[in-house]
């Protein structure tokens, strides 16, 4: 017997709503054993990020190797990586294992507006880590940075999706939550295939960690064996339900978290 395992490579969030904490909650809620490699420690709460301390790149690489050599996760999610040397350490280490299910969430700005990736790290991210991704999951501001295009409409989103896909990743999911009106996320695949995921906006300020939650849910569902499009669809449903379940809960004075554990599954044993 064995557990289904996924690995999250991301930063620690001291208030527990985003980063590694959100990833572990999400993967666990979906029945998947969650391993982690911590890239940085943040000083933050629901009001914002006050400080970031990067973990030494060799320690980040060591964490990844320790998990890959022993636990052997079937899917990997990469979240907040804020400096160039850590990106290189992650890319160099993962390259040794040729992961087939690698979800990369290009975390550049927090929900509260704090900048999380150094400017000089962007080029390294695009040249080394992005081309390894099975799926890249930028929101609108992140997609604008990656595509160097302004996005204010669905047509703009389509142009950005094609531009980012040309950078070398296998697929791109642009999250349309920052656009006005009904929310549409769009998945861009090779051969000009596009899938749209339409959902109603949920009125809540508890949106801390939604990007982390979605990308780790996709990784969890892919670890469970779902194809990419189905994993995205199931992850979108999970996130919407978690947002709905936590929309009126008061925790902190800023952007609170979603309710990751609204209906946790038993851990899957094969």
CATH number at residue 51: 3.40.1190.20
pLDDT tens-digit profile of 19-50?
999 999 999 999 999 999 999 999 999 999 99
Inside any domain, residue 263: no
Model-level pTM?
0.96
Which among 5, 15, 169, 212 is annotated as catalytic?
Answer: 212
pLDDT of residue 241: 97
Inside any domain, residue 110: yes
Range of the domain at 136: 5-246
Inside any domain, residue 241: yes
Ranges of the chain with pLDDT below 70: 109-116, 178, 180-182
pLDDT tens-digit profile of 125-160?
999 999 999 999 999 999 999 999 999 999 999 999
Inside any domain, residue 27: yes
Inside any domain, residue 259: no
pLDDT of residue 116: 66
In the structure encoding, which two tokens stand for residue 14, read together? 């001291």
- What is the number of domains present in the chain? 1
Inside any domain, residue 230: yes
Q: Is 207 a catalytic residue?
A: yes
Q: How far is CA 54 from the centre of its chain?
A: 18
Which among 210, 213, 246, 256 is annotated as catalytic?
Answer: 210
Q: Is 209 a catalytic residue?
A: yes
Which among 211, 213, 246, 256 is annotated as catalytic?
Answer: 211
Q: Is 31 a catalytic residue?
A: no
Which among 209, 236, 246, 256 is annotated as catalytic?
Answer: 209
Among the listed residues 68, 57, 61, the one whose alpha carbon sits nearest the alpha carbon of residue 6: 68
Inside any domain, residue 265: no
Inside any domain, residue 175: yes
Q: Is 195 a catalytic residue?
A: no
pLDDT of residue 201: 86
């Amino acid at each position: 017997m064995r557990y289904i395992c996924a690995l999250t490579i991301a930063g620690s969030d001291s208030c527990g709503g985003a980063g590694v904490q959100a990833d572990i909650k999400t993967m666990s809620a979906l029945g998947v054993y969650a391993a982690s490699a911590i890239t940085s420690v943040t000083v933050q709460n629901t009001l914002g990020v006050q400080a970031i301390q990067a973990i030494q790149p060799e320690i980040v690489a060591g964490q990844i190797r320790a998990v890959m050599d022993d636990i052997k996760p079937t899917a990997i999610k990469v979240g907040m990586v804020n400096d160039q040397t850590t990106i290189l350490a992650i890319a160099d280490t993962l390259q040794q294992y040729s992961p087939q299910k690698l979800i990369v969430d290009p975390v550049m700005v927090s929900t509260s507006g704090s900048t999380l990736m150094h400017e000089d790290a962007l080029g390294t991210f695009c040249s080394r880590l992005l081309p390894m991704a099975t799926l890249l999951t930028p929101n609108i501001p992140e997609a604008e940075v990656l595509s160097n295009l302004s996005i204010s409409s669905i047509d703009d989103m389509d142009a950005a999706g094609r531009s980012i896909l040309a950078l070398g990743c296998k697929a791109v999911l642009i999250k349309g939550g920052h656009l006005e009106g009904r929310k549409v996320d769009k998945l861009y695949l090779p051969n000009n295939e596009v899938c749209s995921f339409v959902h109603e906006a949920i009125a809540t300020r508890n949106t801390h960690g939604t990007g982390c939650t979605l990308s780790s849910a996709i990784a969890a569902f892919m670890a469970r064996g779902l194809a990419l499009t189905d994993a995205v669809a199931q992850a979108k449903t999970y996130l919407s339900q978690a947002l709905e379940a936590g929309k009126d809960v008061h925790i902190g004075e800023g952007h609170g978290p979603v309710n990751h554990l609204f209906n946790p599954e038993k851990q899957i044993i094969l």
